[in-house]
Amino acid sequence: MPVTRREFLEKSAAVAAAGFVPRLPDDFGLNLSAGTAPGSLVEGSGAPAVLKGRARPCVVSSSNGLRGVKVAYDQIVSGADPLDAIIAGVNIQELDPEDQSVGLGGLPNEEGVVQLDASCMHGPTRRAGAVAALEDIATPSLVAKAVMDYTDHVMLVGAGAKKFAKAMGFREQELLTEKSRQDWLRWKARLNANDAWLDHDDDVRIKFTTGTINMNAVTASGDLASVTTTSGMAWKVPGRIGDSPIVGAGQYCDNLVGAAGSTGRGEANIKTCASFLIVEFMRAGMAPRAACLKALERVVAMTETRLLGPNGRPKFDLEFYAVAKDGTFGGATLYSGGKFAVCDERGARLEEAGFLFRR
């Protein structure tokens, strides 16, 4: 059931010193070795998976969530709600100025403004929340959860999302760090050889990222949650949002089946609603990794010609992560070499992801 405002603020107290100041408002070749431990799901064609006995607690994330999966797992085995736990996990990246793809220090849009996106889902209550193009608030994952907890809506965007966040007690702060500002100046200086901007550093490679953090979890009782948060594609057109804040694309969770999420080129993912698709593949009996690989096949089939190389393969990469209701997990990428983070009874570690194509 929804938490009260007081409970939300109390659960978020640990984040307060790092950017959240609570106050009451005024009004997927197949490499299938890792992550395929025997499970206890009864799988039927097209039927929801049924859990026999207790699940194996597990948290799965993009590789940049290695620290976060340990935090989230420890909280889950201590009895925390799965969504609260994984949001605490992604907050680590959101508040890390050295991570230039999430939250504070994220690379800005073409105008030098950092705009953040996030979405989350809570399996037990079947609820979701999201924010997009949010400025000046470092933890959009928490704002997305507040949208879920306190409104009848799923997504708030732009100025409205910021106004809501401020009313909920989130502190405004400058998100553009000096490191990211210098990278923006390098990019800007190379836009046009005939403009008035001098080259910033001739030998510096321009950064370009579509980085994000996605995290999914299951508890011992089989309850699931998912969250994805990002600063989006570097140098994007102002107002652009990717898949991260879109429920069913950036992440998806069904408490009867499992949870899944993504990082990488959001535009490719939006067209396939791939996180939702992965969960539906798992519902039909696929293991998490196989489901991620199958979704990647759909992505390739839906890729427009201008984004395909001479070999017919996408010029971009896309990564998926998934966990089933019994605690089995998997991850997959378009190209070999990818890893993802996981934490279960074996501890926090990086696992090799399955892949469609060798580099």
328 in active site = no
DSSP string of 219-282, one letter each residue: -TT--EEEEEEE--STTPPTT---STTSBTTTEEEETTTEEEEEEE-HHHHHTTTHHHHHHHHH
In angstroms, the Cα distances linking 289 to 38, 178, 328, 357 are 13, 39, 9, 15
Question: How many whole angstroms separate alpha carbon 83 and alpha carbon 3?
Answer: 12
Residue burial 144-175, b: 16+ Cβ < 10 Å; e: rest: bbbbbbbeeebbbbbeebbebbbebbbbeeeb
Enter the tokens of residue 77: 């085995």
| Residue type at 45 in one-letter notation | S
For residues 132 and 158, what is the distance between their CA atoms, to the nearest angstrom?
6
**Which helix H or strand E contains 134, and what residues bound it?**
strand 127-134
106: nearest Cα among 145, 144, 140, 72:
140
- Rounded-to-integer distance, Cα 254 and Cα 95, Å: 28
Cβ proximity of 341 and 62 under 8 Å: yes
The single residue of 139, 210, 212, 333 carrying the catalytic annotation is 212
Catalytic residues: 212
